[in-house]
Amino acid sequence: MAYVLQRGRNLIKRVAGSFIRSALIVTVLATARVSMAAEASNPPLVIGPGTEALLEYTLVDDKGVEIETNKGKSPLTYLPGSNEVPPGLEKALVGLRAGQEKVVKLSPEEGYGTVRKDALQEVPKDAIPAESRMVGAILRAQSGSQTKTVRISEIRNKTIIVDFNHPYAGKTLVYHVKVLDVRTAMEKPPISSAGSDGSGSAVDNADPAKKSFK
């Protein structure tokens, strides 16, 4: 009699265990369906018009030498369509969502443009601060409301040749980008001061004598 009772108890335990496992499976499947339905009705934001993205990036040249990075620093807040990044990189970022990574190789034409001879301008020597009169010096050129970064490329007797090409002009660049977050943009993209080609190396046609350098 005791044996029969024990067999009965074991059978009840097995049935109960099987029922609990089945219930758990049903619960998991139901939760998955709810999650999939929620994701389908509210898909994750991807980089595109009306969004802003937080980016982590490392920029290297075509030989793999690091040029700059923001790893360990504040992320770059990127607004699509604002010309804040090179045209080729902007195109490559479209459609990426938070957590995705991408390696983007840009030719000079896709990046900051080719080196342009007409971006070399001659200015009076006294327009450049004496302590900055050296080849390779980086200066800020103020012309009206615009500020551009320029480099001294040559020093002559009474004049100095300044280079308005972007420092990365003519270079093949490789961006290693990780998207940290994508969200709805809270403000309109700022108006870019880059040239019409998006390279940031447009020629400044203002009178060189009216520019100020520092």
| Closest residue by Cα to residue 182 from 71, 60, 70, 54 | 54
Residues 80, 93: contact at Cβ < 8 Å?
Answer: yes
State pLDDT tens for residues 136-195.
999 988 777 778 889 999 999 999 999 999 989 999 999 999 999 999 987 554 443 333
Confidence of residue 47 (pLDDT cuts 50, 70, 90): very high
Paired residues of 159 in beta bridges: 124
Residues 76, 57: contact at Cβ < 8 Å?
Answer: yes
Residues 197, 165: contact at Cβ < 8 Å?
Answer: no
What pTM was estimated for this model as a whole?
0.65
* Domain residue ranges of the chain, discontinuous segments joined by +: 1-43, 51-113+168-199
Confidence of residue 117 (pLDDT cuts 50, 70, 90): very high
State pLDDT tens for residues 67-100.
999 999 999 999 999 888 999 999 999 999 999 9
Specify the CATH class of 51-113+168-199 in words: alpha beta
